[in-house]
């Protein structure tokens, strides 16, 4: 066993299910919601069972959507600043319960403690962001060519917002959408990943507390305003196909997006698709290698490589390759992998066995194409025989071929050497995904070129920081097979509303636009 691997104790293993029970109780979730049901919930920390959840069936799901539609018709009439008050109260509940919910995220997903807490902080931040927007849902006054006329745009609530989230950010992605959807006057129906139902139940309970306070303070919040569908793909498809769901915000794989997108287009529903990423960084000759090492290490190994924005391709200039890559290998060999609930751990487990098998299959494919693999092996953790801990893998590749062009949701970083800046920009963009990217350089021309129209083709492009760790103030999302959707950011609220153009004639004549004449007697 590696000396840098955290040791999991048997007593800790025995106590996790009990701790989950206490956390859920404290967060306001009834034991009946997680104590019995056909869906068995495992923690990736040890592999042990931490809950049993009853799945939502088709008739219950349809009823929830119908209730959400009825709630939308009432909620849209509540003034936006009043709607913002509900979201403000949700933010208060999240602040008061940050430690408990963050701990539950760490247990159910396997995130290290700071990342579990950080995810809840994202929820708090988006609530603050959305509350501000509740008084800033601005429409423009538009110059008109007609005398004694005024032309303006108005923004109105859109309808039922369906949220489909993935396991790796089980609560933050819901909050990104829910906070804005609620202040915009929409109701919400959430289908979380079947791998992370417990955090969804906890989040639902906290919103319920906020709603109770909102009503007690005189606010009007209709029943059915928010609901959670604990289910598999079949109920996700029902949500996508239902004609009363105006918008689907779906986070997941590109394959999922290919299935969801055409269905929504067929019925002319709106879509926010946050799909795969194959994110790259370029290390130039002028890069600060100390800063770069820290940036690369977090971006590539954080969350055990299970972020949409994880760094997966690293282009290193030949002049610094032999200096930087050995340092990176040492960091990979020494990083603390183990129990994410213990202080000092930096890399926790993969979510499950299928993720581990996909990682191993990918590494074998890379070897077959001449890749030199460092790390990637499964690590034995005492008391966690059914969990999947791995040493993050570095793969020195001769070219960008095979698995380098695909996203594997695991800590695999491909390293490629380059010697020409224009050529490496082409390689950087020569993958079908376009989520996040970065360059490490102290050359102003290289930095600005990377951010220019001929530089990175991704939705997120950074200088001297890695591609992961986005803030809610900036629009999150990407291009190409990443789906084109955006969450958060300055004008993200517009995705949750419909726009109307209004022209008001306050004169006594009827001039027509473009000089058209239509005189009748």
CA atoms of 320 and 324, how far apart (whole Å): 6
CA atoms of 485 and 167, how far apart (whole Å): 19
Contacts of 412 (CB under 8 A, 6+ apart): 305, 312, 359, 362, 363, 366, 376, 392, 393, 395
Q: Are 188 and 177 in contact (CB under 8 A)?
A: yes
So which residues are the catalytic ones? Answer: 274
The pLDDT of 95-111, averaged and rounded, is 98
Cα 76 versus chain centre, distance? 27
Residue 34 scores a pLDDT above 60: yes
Question: Would you kindly state where each structural domain of the chain is located, as residue ranges?
Answer: 17-275+483-501, 279-473
CATH topology assigned to domain 279-473: Aldehyde Dehydrogenase; Chain A, domain 2 (3.40.309)
CA atoms of 335 and 352, how far apart (whole Å): 21
CA atoms of 319 and 285, how far apart (whole Å): 6
pLDDT grade for 14, boundaries at 50, 70 and 90: low
Cα 415 versus chain centre, distance? 26
CA atoms of 394 and 76, how far apart (whole Å): 51
Residue 513 scores a pLDDT above 50: yes
Q: Beta-carbon neighbour count of residue 356 at 10 Å?
A: 18
Taking phi over 0 as left and psi of -120 to 50 as alpha, with beta for the rest, 477 belongs to left
pLDDT digits (tens, 9 = 90+) for 492-502: 999 999 999 99
- Report CA-CA distances (Å) from 286 to 15, 265, 289, 444, 452: 50, 47, 9, 10, 19
Tokens of 340: 């994410």
Q: Which residue has the higher pLDDT, 11 or 353?
A: 353
pLDDT grade for 12, boundaries at 50, 70 and 90: very low
Closest CA to 166 of 137, 131, 191, 143: 191
Map 231-290 to HEC letters: CCHHHHHHHHHCCCEEEEEEECCHHHHHHHHHHHHHCCCEEEEECCCCEEEEECCCCCHH
Rg (CA), the chain: 25
pLDDT score, position 7:
40
CA atoms of 360 and 307, how far apart (whole Å): 18
Contacts of 172 (CB under 8 A, 6+ apart): 119, 120, 122, 123, 126
User: Phi and psi of 106, rounded to 5°?
Assistant: -60, -40
CA angle (9 as vertex; 8, 11 as ends), nearest 5: 140
The pLDDT of 25-39, averaged and rounded, is 96
The pLDDT of 426-435, averaged and rounded, is 98
Q: Are 482 and 277 in contact (CB under 8 A)?
A: yes
Average pLDDT, the chain: 96
pTM: 0.96
Query: What secondary structure letter does DSSP report for 303?
Result: G
Cα 416 versus chain centre, distance? 28
Q: Are 282 and 451 in contact (CB under 8 A)?
A: no
Burial profile 26-47: b = 16 or more Cβ within 10 angstroms, e = fewer: ebbbeeebbeebebebbbbbbb
Q: Are 389 and 5 in contact (CB under 8 A)?
A: yes
Residue 434 scores a pLDDT above 80: yes
Tokens of 285: 């000759």
Burial class (CB in 10 A: 0-12, 13-18, 19+), 55: middle
Count of residues making up the chain:
521
Residue 354 scores a pLDDT above 50: yes
pLDDT score, position 15:
84
Instruction: Kindly give the interhelix angle for 80-96 and 113-133, rounded to the nearest 10 degrees.
Output: 160
The secondary structure of 372-428 as a DSSP string is EEE---B---TT-TTS--B--EEEE-SSS-GGGGS--SSSEEEEEEE--HHHHHHHH
The pLDDT of 336-346, averaged and rounded, is 97
Helix ranges (DSSP H) in 134-185? 172-183
Q: Are 365 and 410 in contact (CB under 8 A)?
A: no
When the candidates are 3.20.20.80, 3.40.50.300, 3.30.110.40, 3.40.605.10, the CATH number that belongs to 17-275+483-501 is: 3.40.605.10
Percent of the chain with pLDDT over 70: 97
pLDDT digits (tens, 9 = 90+) for 217-233: 999 999 999 999 999 99
The pLDDT of 396-417, averaged and rounded, is 98
CA atoms of 479 and 472, how far apart (whole Å): 18
Q: Are strands 149-157 and 49-53 parallel, antiparallel or unpaired?
A: unpaired
The pLDDT of 73-92, averaged and rounded, is 98
Closest CA to 253 of 239, 274, 231, 282: 274
Tokens of 202: 């906890």
pLDDT digits (tens, 9 = 90+) for 439-464: 999 999 999 999 999 999 999 999 99
């Amino acid at each position: 066993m590696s000396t840098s691997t955290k040791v999991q104790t048997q007593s800790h293993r025995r106590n996790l299910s009990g701790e989950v029970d206490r956390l859920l109780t404290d967060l306001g979730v009834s034991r009946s919601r997680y104590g019995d049901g056909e869906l068995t919930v495992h923690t990736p920390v040890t592999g042990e069972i931490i809950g049993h959840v009853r799945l939502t069936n088709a008739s219950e799901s349809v009823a929830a959507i119908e209730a959400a539609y009825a709630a939308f018709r009432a909620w849209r009439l509540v003034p936006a600043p009043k709607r913002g008050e509900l979201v403000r109260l949700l933010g208060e509940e999240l602040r008061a319960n940050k430690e408990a919910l963050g701990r539950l995220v760490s247990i159910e997903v396997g995130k290290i403690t700071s990342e579990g807490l950080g995810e809840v902080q994202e929820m708090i931040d988006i609530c603050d962001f959305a509350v501000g927007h509740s008084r800033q849902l601005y429409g423009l006054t538009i110059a008109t060519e007609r005398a004694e006329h005024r032309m303006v745009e108005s923004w109105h609530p859109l309808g039922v917002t369906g949220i489909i989230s993935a396991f790796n950010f089980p609560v933050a992605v819901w909050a990104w959408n829910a906070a804005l959807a609620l202040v915009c006057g929409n109701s919400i129906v959430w289908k979380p990943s079947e791998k992370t139902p417990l955090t969804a139940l906890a989040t639902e309970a906290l919103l319920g507390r906020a709603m109770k306070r909102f009503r007690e303070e005189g606010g009007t919040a209709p029943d059915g305003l928010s609901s959670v569908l604990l289910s598999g793909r079949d109920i996700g498809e029902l949500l996508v196909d239902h004609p009363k769901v105006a918008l689907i915000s779906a986070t997941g794989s590109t394959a999922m997006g290919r299935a969801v997108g055409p269905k929504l287009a067929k019925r002319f529903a709106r879509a926010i698709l946050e799909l795969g990423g194959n994110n790259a960084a370029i290390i130039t000759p002028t890069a600060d290698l100390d800063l770069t090492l820290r940036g690369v290490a977090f971006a590539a190994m954080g969350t055990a490589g299970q972020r949409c924005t994880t760094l997966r391709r690293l282009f290193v200039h030949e002049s610094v390759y032999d200096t930087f890559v050995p340092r990176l290998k040492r960091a990979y060999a020494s990083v603390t992998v183990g129990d994410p609930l213990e202080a000092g751990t930096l890399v926790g487990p993969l979510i499950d066995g299928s993720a581990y098998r996909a990682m191993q299959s990918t590494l074998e494919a890379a070897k077959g194409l001449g890749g030199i693999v460092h790390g990637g092996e499964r690590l034995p953790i005492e008391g966690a025989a059914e969990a999947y801990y791995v040493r993050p893998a570095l793969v020195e590749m001769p070219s960008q071929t095979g698995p380098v062009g695909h996203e594997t949701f695991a800590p695999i970083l491909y390293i490629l050497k380059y010697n020409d800046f224009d050529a490496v920009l082409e390689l950087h963009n020569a993958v079908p995904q376009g989520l996040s990217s970065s360059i490490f350089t102290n050359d102003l021309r290289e930095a600005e070129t990377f951010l220019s129209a001929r530089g990175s083709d991704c939705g997120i492009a950074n200088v001297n920081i890695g591609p992961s760790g986005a803030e809610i103030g900036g629009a999150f999302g990407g291009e190409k097979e990443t789906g084109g959707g955006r969450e958060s950011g300055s004008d993200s609220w517009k995705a949750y509303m419909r726009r109307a153009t209004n022209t008001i004639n306050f004169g006594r004549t009827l001039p027509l636009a473009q000089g058209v004449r239509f005189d009748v007697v």
